[in-house]
Amino acid sequence: MNQPVVLVTGATGFIGRNLVPLLESRGYRVRRALRAGRTGENDVVVGSIESPLSWDAALAGVDAVVHLAARVHHPNDERAAELYDAVNAQGTMQLAQAAARAGVSTFVFLSTILVNGSSTDGRGPFTPDDAVVPRGVYGRSKAAAEAALQSLASQSEMRVAVVRPPLVYGREALGNFRHLVGAIRRRIPLPLGLVDNKRAFISVQNLASFVAHLIALPVAPPYRIFLVADDEQISTTAFVRRIGQAMNRTAILLPVPSGVLTFALQAIRPELRHSLVGSMEIDPSAALSTGWTPPLSMTQGLRLAVGTSS
């Protein structure tokens, strides 16, 4: 019996390095699409996604595509939106159109919860059916890609699954999670002791598990959006304490009133105001309705993320 072939873009990135071995352990033949530096017999070099590419050779015999590659960080200049659009929207559609022509059955697109918006303060959890209110140039570029993919799914035989995760944490995570781990390790006091919000998080292992689960689904609608998270949604304060517990350290949390912290962040680092003080709740019922459940608890995921397994 032939092994089903899955093409993975962004395979050498944080999420890809967790997804590829999981897919291989489940019997898939993974073809990694690389920008350069071919290292394995199943790798294919495609170049930079923002450039016009021919995907025909990479897609030959492929059953499913998992598109993880994206521009996440950008130069702080007037071309930021253009650069994001070139990779996250135009690059995605170039690949998806080629996949549909090649007869690929399933296309999984890793998007972001920022397509829904920046905060759930004063409202219920985000759902897949919400009108999109994308946050920042990154969120807008992902929203544009989603809209184009929905149109393509309605005109082809390829089913498209869009996954919008919240903050993804793990051993090699960057961004806010890495900064929090570093602060706890160096015993730097954090002004987060009184933050009373509720946020969704997901371990990289749980996210990889859900993506692998989507590929294996025998029947699915032509286009569907999924919001995924760990089995708990907790406050920033509680999350930082959980990180400390996983590290066998006590996080030093200063009791700064949320209003004072919000005012200070708005003046100094406004991009952190929502991610640290605001709520970001999601409704994962669509994902759970497929029969998937997170294989790891948040406690287990955090222990793997910071290097302890007991």
Task: Classify residue 215: in a domain, yes or no.
Answer: yes
Residue 6 has pLDDT above 50, yes or no: yes
Return mean pLDDT, the chain: 91
Residue 308 — very low, low, confident or very high, per pLDDT cuts 50/70/90? low
- With a pLDDT cut of 90, the percent of the chain lying above it is 74
* Residue 80, domain extent: 5-169+200-230+282-288
Residues 263-291 pLDDT 10s: 888 887 767 778 889 999 999 999 999 99
CA distance 203 to 187: 24
Task: Classify residue 41: in a domain, yes or no.
Answer: yes
Mean pLDDT of 59-77: 84
* Active centre residues (catalytic): 138
Tell me if 177 sits within 8 A of 257, measured CB to CB.
no
Task: Classify residue 254: in a domain, yes or no.
Answer: no
Number of structural domains (the chain) is 1
Residue 38 has pLDDT above 80, yes or no: no
Task: Classify residue 244: in a domain, yes or no.
Answer: no
SS3 149: helix
CB-count burial class (<10 Å; 0-12, 13-18, 19+) for 122: exposed
Task: Classify residue 257: in a domain, yes or no.
Answer: no
Residues 96-129 pLDDT 10s: 999 999 999 999 999 999 999 999 999 999 999 9
**Token pair 């459940």 in the structure block, residue:** 293
pLDDT of residue 41: 74
CB-count burial class (<10 Å; 0-12, 13-18, 19+) for 45: middle
Residue 23 has pLDDT above 70, yes or no: yes
CA distance 116 to 108: 18
Residues 163-211 pLDDT 10s: 999 999 999 898 889 999 999 999 999 999 999 999 999 999 999 999 9
- With a pLDDT cut of 70, the percent of the chain lying above it is 95
- Return the higher-pLDDT residue of 157 and 75: 157
Residues 238-267 pLDDT 10s: 999 999 999 999 999 999 998 898 888 888
pLDDT of residue 75: 54
Task: Classify residue 259: in a domain, yes or no.
Answer: no
Q: Are strands 233-234 and 199-203 parallel, antiparallel or unpaired?
A: antiparallel
CA distance 53 to 50: 8
- Return the higher-pLDDT residue of 223 and 307: 223
Mean pLDDT of 85-95: 93
pLDDT of residue 117: 94
* Of 109, 112, 155, 161, residue with least CA distance to 136: 112
Task: Classify residue 180: in a domain, yes or no.
Answer: no
pLDDT of residue 295: 98
Q: What is the CATH number of the domain that holds 55?
A: 3.40.50.720
Task: Classify residue 157: in a domain, yes or no.
Answer: yes
Residue 309 — very low, low, confident or very high, per pLDDT cuts 50/70/90? very low
